[in-house]
Structure 1
Amino acid sequence: MDLMELFFIFLGSAVVVYCGVKMLLFSRMLFPKMWFPLPKSFFTSMGEWAVVTGSSEGIGRAYALELATQGMNVVIMSRTKEKLDHVAEEIGNATGQRVKVIVVDFTEENIFSHIEEELRGLNVGVLVNNVAMLPSHIPQPFLESVEQEQIIEKQINCNVKTMMKMCKIILPRMENRGKGVIVNVSSGVAAFSCPLFTLYASTKVFVDRFSEGLHAEYKCKGIIVQAVAPFAVCTRMSFYTKSILTLSTEDFVTKSLQYLRAGDNTYGSISHIILAWFLQCIPLKILHADSIIKSTQDFVKHLRPVQEPSTST
C-alpha cells in the first residue's frame, strides 16, 4: 500500500467521522427534551421575576405568558398602555402571578434611567429582549426608505441599543447571584445577507454576535445567554401569515425554550432549523437575483392587509 492510498483512506475515514459527528449533533435537535432537559423549577430557580420587552402582543406576549405559567412574576414592557394592561390582566387571570407594566417607547432616546428605576429591587432571573421593528411595512431597497434618517435612528435604538442597555441594567444582578437567563430574539434572516431587509437583518446579525460573545464571557458565572432566530411566526409583523412553516407564537415560544441549553444560538424549532439549512444551501447568486428580489417584494405586497400592521412590537 503506497502513501497515496494511505492518504485517501485517512481522508475518507475523516470525512465519515466528520459526517457522523454532524449527524449526531443534528439528531440532538430532534429530541431537545432528552438532550437538553430543564428541571421543572428551572426558571423559578433563576429568580422571582422575568422581564420581557415588546410584550404587548406576539412573541413577547407569548414569552411573558409562558414564563408566568412556569411560576415567575413578569414585567411586561411596550409603548401602548391599553394593550399592556389587557395582557397583564390576561396573564394574571390565567396564572395567578404578579404582573408589572412599564410603558416605554424603545425607539426613543433617554428612556433607560426610568426603566432602571422601575426595576429597582426586583429579583430578575430571566430577561427576554424581544422588542424590534421593521423599517417599513413593505420590504424595499435601503435608499427608498421614507424619512431615512429617523428610520436608521429608530432601528438602532429599538433593535440594537435596547438589547445592550437592558443587559447592562440586569446582567450585574445576575452576575452577583451567579445565575440567570438572557434570551435575545434575533431572526432567521440574519443567517445570510437578505436584500430588501438589509437594515433589519443587519441589526439581527448584531443580536447574534452580541449574544454569542456575552454567553462566552458569562457562562462561567452560571448565566445562559442565547440568541433565538425564528423565521416565520404568526405575528402582526408577518401579517399573521399561516403556513406549514409558520408557527403560532405560543407554539414557537414553548419549543424554543426547550433548546435553552442547546448553545448560544438556536432557530427555536426543528422546522426552522431545517429551513435554515435548506436556505444556506442555496447559492447567494440565486437569492440575490433581481427576479427573486422582485418576487419577494410582490409577495409581501400581496399579503399586506388593508390595515397595515405596526412596525414594532
Structure 2
Amino acid sequence: MMKIIINHLRGLPSWLLLLSILGLFSLVSNLLVPLLKWLYAAFLRPRKDLARSYGSWAVVTGATDGIGRAVAFQLACGGGLHLLLVGRNPAKLRQVAADIAAACGGGGGLVKVRTVVIDLAGDAAEGRRRLERAIEGWTSACWSITPARRTPARRTRMKCRRRREHRGHHLGGPYSDTKDGGEGKRCGCEHRSASGTALPSFPFHAIYSATKAYIDQLSKSLNVEYKDKGIDVQCQIPFYVATKMISAKGSSSLLVPSPDQFAAAAVRWIGYESICAPYWPHAVQWFFASLFPDFVLNAWRLHVGIRKRNESIALLDS
C-alpha cells in the first residue's frame, strides 16, 4: 500500500508536491497544534501554586455573590491564600468572611480573611483610601477583579443616573483597582472577568457589553506594559454563568455552569494565558461563534434581544 502511495506521489509535478506539503504544514500548525495545546491547558495542565508565585494574599472584589464569592472560596480553600474581600455590603462581607474562615480555615485561623467596603458605583474615593491602608506594606498579591451588576433590558429604560452608576461600577472599579494595586505594590497577578457579551454585538445591553470590551482591552494592554516587571494581567471570558444576574432561578447546565463550577476552572487558569475562556464548554462556544460571519451573529443576537426585552417588559407590566 505504501509503495503504491509513494509511486503515485513520485508521478506528481514538483509544484503540486510543494503545495501539498505547505498545506499539510499549515493544517498542523494552525489546527492540530493549537488543539493539542488547548486540550492540555483545559484538562491536563496543573494549576499554579499561587502562594509561591504571587504571595500569600489575594484581593477579591465582588466577593459577596456569584463568581466573585466562588473565586474567593477557591483561592482560600484550594489555594490556601489569605483573603482581602472587597464589596459594597458590609453585612454580606462579614457573612462571606465567616463562611470562608469556617470552611477553609477549620476554625483554627489557618486562612486569614479581612474585608473592605467600597461602592464602585458611588463615591469610591474614601473606599479606595481604605483599600490602600489595608494593603499598605504588601510586596505582592493576587488580585481577582470581578465586578458584576444586573442590567436592565434596554438602555432607553435606564435613567441617566443609573447609566452613570453602571459605567462607574464596571469601568471605574477595574481602573481604580489597577491604580491601587499596581507597580508600586509589586502585585504578582491581576485576574479580571470580562464577558462573552463583548465578543459579538449585544443589542439591548450595549453599555454592559461595551464595559466588558473595555476590561478586555485594558487587561491585554496592561499585561504587555507590566510583564517585564513581574506582573501578570489576565482577562477571563465567561459566557453565561448561573448567577442572579442571568436568572433568579440560578439553574445550571453544561453550557451555563454554576459559579462554583466556573470558579474552579477560572482559578486553574490564573497565571497562564493573558486572555482565555477557562470553562471548556465556553471555549468551544467561542470557537464555533468565530466561524460564523458577523451578520449571522448580529441577526441572532437581535432576535434573542427582542424576545428577552419583550419578556422583561411583560414581567414588569404584570
Choose the corresponding residue for 1:127, options 143, 162, 165: 143
Q: For 2:45 and 2:229, how far apart are their aligned partners in 1? A: 19
- Partners of 1:102 and 1:115 within 8 A in 2: yes
Residue equivalent to 1:190 = 198
More deviation in 92-101 or 258-267? 258-267
Shift of 1:258: 2.1
TM-score, normalising length: structure 2: 0.82
- Partners of 1:78 and 1:103 within 8 A in 2: yes
Choose the corresponding residue for 2:164, options 153, 167, 174: 153
Alignment pair present for 1:208 and 2:216: yes
**Total equivalences in the alignment:** 293
**Superposed, which structure 2 residues align to 1:1-313 within 5 Å?**
10-21=18-29, 22-32=31-41, 36-39=45-48, 41-69=49-77, 70-96=79-105, 97-111=111-125, 112-136=128-152, 138=153, 140=154, 142=155, 144-147=156-159, 149-175=160-186, 180-239=188-247, 240-289=250-299, 293-299=302-308
CA offset digits 1:180-204 (Å, max 9, x no partner): 1110110011112221221111111
Shift of 1:253: 1.3
| Partner SS state of residue 237, structure 1 | coil
Q: For 1:11 and 1:226, how far apart are their aligned partners in 2? A: 39
Shift of 1:244: 2.4
Q: For 2:236 and 2:131, how far apart are their aligned partners in 1? A: 24
Cα RMSD for the two superposed structures? 2.7
- Partners of 1:51 and 1:124 within 8 A in 2: no
- Partners of 2:51 and 2:57 within 8 A in 1: no
CA offset digits 1:85-121 (Å, max 9, x no partner): 1111100001111111112211013432232223323
- Partners of 1:58 and 1:249 within 8 A in 2: yes
Gaps of 5+ in 1: 308-313
The alignment-based identity, stated in percent, is 24
The structure number with the bigger radius of gyration is: 2
Gaps of 5+ in 2: 1-12, 106-110
| Partner SS state of residue 66, structure 1 | helix
Task: Specify which structure has the bigger relative contact order, considering alpha-carbon pairs within 8 angstroms and separated by 6 or more residues.
Answer: 1
